[in-house]
Amino acid sequence: MKRPLRALAAAGLLAAASIVAVAVGGTASADTQICEQFGSTVIGGKYVVQNNRWGTTAQQCINATSTGFEITTLNGSSPTNGAPTAYPSIFVGCHYTNCSPGTNLPIQVSQISSAPSSINYRYVGGAIYNASYDIWLDPSPKRDGVNQMEIMIWLNRQGPIQPIGSPVGNANIAGRNWEVWRGNNGGNNVISYVASSAIPSLSFDVLHFINDTRNRGAITSSWYLTSIQAGFEPWQGGAGLAVTNFSQSVNIGEAPPTTPPPGTGACAVKYTANSWNNGFTADVQITNTGTATLNGWTLNYNLPGGQQITGSWNATVSQSGSAVTARNISHNGTLAPGGTASFGYQGTLSGTYSSPSSFTLNGMTCTRS
């Protein structure tokens, strides 16, 4: 979903006669070469592979396989302080009216119970590129045009390139620490999660990244997930880059219990509150019940209606609507197995007081202690 974000030259050019062009919506029964600028094909009866050469008029070709694709020809290049040449990718959902077969997208975030994903990349040297997921969301169930929110997950960054915007912190998701960037590219808002080193393969739940974006106040649960895409943004070089295997599902239905049985969580939270007519205070204690040390933590939860935080201590606490995000400060960010950290806050109260019912720490559901 890159092509309308910046002006394109000759977006409707036909491929040269010597180039194999695959029509949008075609089906690949064997390895299929795509050189048409916005050509695509279906693989596995479920996924769409697209060339998506939106940032250059130079030739680019990809080879769609039964499980992914490879960049075979890439003649264009772009300055590293600007936009990439393309986003060849594989996706589920809808990309400019091109919807993958049998997709249940767009669908509201509130209806998604999980979105398990798995990917294997093949990287090359001597090129400038990123390997990333593109996750698109919008307040409406859009099947055409640009969405308002783009989440990018950078699993590899090679060369002097950077995401849109500027760094705003870190997040621990899918068992890894990510540097978080936030900005706007002139067409939509972007939040990017950047790995500290190259990740050649990963299995994770896309919903955890969506939830983190929601907790940052960028979207709400009423927004729609429209597509999940995975591929490469090349700036210079990149022939040989490949997605060798990709799987993605979006499951709908009742979410699993937010509070697992005792002993199954990687964290425990003790929440102690004191309330009066129009105010309250809360003391929160976090315990690392896992086996690995946490180097930095973020606690997410929702306050019941009528509660508004006015001040905090021992943590950086922000609130957007009912969603609360509490992040460690310098002296309490390391939690060894069995270690604890405490923070608190005060707030105003309208109506009857009640405590939050569930918590997640770095994306993991916590037990209540």
* Tens digit of each residue's pLDDT (9 = 90 or more) over 84-108: 999 999 999 999 999 999 999 999 9
Task: Give pLDDT tens digits for 167-213.
Answer: 998 998 988 999 999 999 999 999 999 999 999 999 999 999 999 99
pTM of the model: 0.66
User: Pick from 75, 74, 73, 22: which is nearest to 49 by CA?
Assistant: 22
CA distance 156 to 125: 12
Q: Which helix (H) or strand (E) holds 213?
A: helix 206-215
- Position 294 scores a pLDDT of 83
Residue 36 annotated in active site: no
Instruction: Write down the catalytic residue from 70, 150, 179, 254.
Output: 150
- What's the confidence (pLDDT) of residue 2? 60
Continuous segment of H or E residues that includes residue 191: strand 189-195
89-98 exposure pattern, b = at least 16 Cβ within 10 A, e = fewer = bbbbbbbbeb
Q: For position 295, what pLDDT does the model report?
A: 81
CA-based radius of gyration for the chain: 22
In 3D space, the residue among 114, 343, 318, 108 whose CA is nearest the CA of residue 216 turns out to be 318
Helix (H, G, I), strand (E, B) or coil at 36: coil
Burial profile 272-298: b = 16 or more Cβ within 10 angstroms, e = fewer: ebebeeebbebebebbbbbeeebeebb
Q: What share of the chain is helix, strand, coil (3-state, %, to 5)?
A: 5, 50, 45
| Under-50 pLDDT residues of the chain | 4-29, 255-264
Q: Which of 70, 179, 233, 254 is catalytic?
A: 233
Rounded Cα distance, 288 and 334, in Å: 10
Question: What is the pLDDT, as a whole number, of residue 365?
Answer: 84
Decide if 150 is catalytic: yes
